[in-house]
Structure 1
């Protein structure tokens, strides 16, 4: 990686840092000397992961903060605890739900993928923006190449009329990207020292595993073999996320992903999102809908 500089003295929050891309991103940060707060649901799993990370990276400074993005009360409580600590250099808004086959709901009644992937992080930023500004933090949002083939249904953000797990996931990621790009523009208009960036892992196959064990045991094994030449593991998929979070050349409003064919795999590079992911009219409508849903306003 080109952004392999020392991060000693810098503190980062990684949501969903106990598994998948978030775990690999956390390891990369720790190996470069950063302090990391893993914001994740399960204290039991977190303690196991913390022990493994400390074994892997001697002297690692890593801690757990309980956070359930599918529960707005948990988001608010976690934000209050985080804000009582020192400012951070960045947030990697990584946690999410992938491909729920049946329509499920969050604690607050939102469709699970939209509610977790977008609304949960929207609420976290709403609570913590002054704290992020205190540290001139970068807020990195986890996008997806799947945004290319979908449009946001502003009249059905909760997938109530018709539900398909893969489509709901892709639209939730498009919402994340619209929010991330729009947040950067509003931060600049407000003269904020914080910044907002979007990054994606390419075709990181493990990250895209369905949550159904039967699917994974059958189709999953065959698909892995077929996809091996165009996919990469989560360790490589985490590289663009960490680059966006830490590299000097990763400025606000950028979109980072793998440099290979179709952005599927490869070293981190700045790349292009589809124009509809930067549509300010759609972003403004999504922003208003997100404020209504969460009951929170982002002070920009």
Structure 2
């Protein structure tokens, strides 16, 4: 058992918005949903790159329903503008928070946040927060992408923006823990509302995507036969996202690859690290995110 793209059902009549959909997991998710008849909005920084991705998809499905939304998760003013655009698009069935940075050199967002926490978590928090009324009204499913790395994550509450010290991998792990905690806390808060909206979390395993461009070794040097056994392709890495976005599953559930310690293979239930289940810490993160972004979802 397990879910692959072959199990994806017809998505005609449904509208999806995917952040970071021009490359990697986001592109593969957009491609698969479009090929099954879904209307897909690609929310990306670069219109040129988004258009190139849409052109690629249309070579496979000339009648694919695709569109572009300008979104830079590293600038909260631009997030606010994107949210207003999204509100004008009509009903939104599924919002997929896919975009992210992985282990870049130290950098900061427009508002001064450490780039990985700023883009991976705070940018998405602000987007969801500004869309909260629409998501509740549309009964939208929110999909949050976390990572296997969340299991080693520790949030440095005293140095959230890496002003004193910076380890790219530790900051990535922390941002992915934040994604997990946010997804679970969002689901808890949604359950208190009169809505069918829900939040589902997933992870891609170890997928060879553009996210890994900042890793010490180029992916092509890692692509030995032995390491290929550990790496999902981008297409296979998108299977948990497709499951989370389309299947009849419970809010708050977590999905990922089911083979070799959740690194690859068909999609199915995944394990949540104990530290991500601490509700007091999730509430602390939520309140801090409201303070830092200036966006209160009102949930």
TM-score range normalised by the length of the shorter chain:
over 0.9
Q: CA deviation at 1:3?
A: 4.1
Q: Is the 8 A contact 2:112 2:161 kept in 1?
A: no
Q: CA deviation at 1:173?
A: 0.7
Q: Is the 8 A contact 2:113 2:161 kept in 1?
A: yes
Q: Deviations over 1:267-287 (max 9, x none)?
A: 110222111112111101111
**Equivalent position to 2:38, from 34, 41, 65:** 34
Q: Distance in 2 between matches of 1:83 and 1:190?
A: 20
Q: CA deviation at 1:252?
A: 0.4
Quick check: 236-245 or 154-163, which moved more?
A: 154-163
Matches within 5 A, 1:207-222: 207-211=210-214, 215-217=216-218, 220-222=219-221
Q: CA deviation at 1:28?
A: 0.8
Aligned to 2:155: 152
Q: CA deviation at 1:211?
A: 2.6
Aligned to 1:61: 65
Is the partner of 1:140 in helix, strand or coil? Answer: strand
Q: Is the 8 A contact 1:205 1:224 kept in 2?
A: no
Aligned to 2:82: 78
RMSD: 1.4
Q: CA deviation at 1:129?
A: 1.3
Matches within 5 A, 1:1-300: 1=4, 3-100=7-104, 102-211=105-214, 215-217=216-218, 220-225=219-224, 226-248=226-248, 250-300=249-299
Q: Is the 8 A contact 1:182 1:278 kept in 2?
A: no
Q: Is the 8 A contact 2:137 2:195 kept in 1?
A: no
Q: Is the 8 A contact 1:114 1:172 kept in 2?
A: yes
TM-score for the superposition, normalised by structure 2:
0.95
Q: Which of structure 1's runs of 4+ aligned residues deviate more than 6 A?
A: none
Quick check: 4-13 or 147-156, which moved more?
A: 147-156
Q: CA deviation at 1:52?
A: 1.4
User: Would you say how many aligned residue pairs link Structure 1 and Structure 2?
Assistant: 294
Q: Distance in 1 between matches of 2:62 and 2:127?
A: 31
Q: Is the 8 A contact 1:259 1:269 kept in 2?
A: yes
Q: Distance in 2 between matches of 1:221 and 1:58?
A: 32
Q: CA deviation at 1:207?
A: 4.8
Give 5+ residue unaligned stretches, structure 1.
Answer: none
Is the partner of 2:122 in helix, strand or coil? Answer: helix
Q: Is the 8 A contact 2:101 2:211 kept in 1?
A: no
Q: Distance in 1 between matches of 2:292 and 2:121?
A: 11
TM-score for the superposition, normalised by structure 1:
0.94
Q: Is the 8 A contact 1:202 1:258 kept in 2?
A: yes
Q: Distance in 2 between matches of 1:165 and 1:99?
A: 5
Q: Distance in 2 between matches of 1:160 and 1:196?
A: 32
Give 5+ residue unaligned stretches, structure 2.
Answer: none
Q: Is the 8 A contact 1:154 1:286 kept in 2?
A: no
Q: Is the 8 A contact 1:69 1:120 kept in 2?
A: yes
Q: CA deviation at 1:204?
A: 0.7
Q: Distance in 2 between matches of 1:135 and 1:88?
A: 6
Q: Distance in 2 between matches of 1:191 and 1:8?
A: 26
